[in-house]
Amino acid sequence: MGTKKQIKVGDRIELVYTNDELTDLKPGDRGTVTEIEENQVERLIWVNWDNGERLALIEGIDEFKVVREE
């Protein structure tokens, strides 16, 4: 996956896909980015989801998009 998505703490995102079988999240669920954690292996996007879950997405594995709410 080329360049990293331009995402920052406070952005609202919408889930497109996750392979995490232990979550109740489904495509279309939304949440707010609370932390971005980077290491040499992966970039974790920590999200407080509107359904009450706190789950990190792994950039390059999980898919999401930044949404602009009106």
Q: Which pLDDT score, from 0 to 100, does residue 3 have?
A: 44
Q: Which pLDDT score, from 0 to 100, does residue 26 have?
A: 96
More confident residue, 5 or 68: 68
| CATH architecture assignment, domain 12-67 | Beta Barrel (2.40)
Contact in structure between 30 and 46 (CB atoms under 8 Å): no
Beta bridge partners, 54, equal: 48
pTM over 0.95: no
Residue 43 is given by DSSP the state: E
**21-67 residue pLDDT tens:** 999 999 999 999 999 999 888 999 999 999 999 999 999 999 999 99
- What is the domain partition of the chain in residue ranges? 12-67
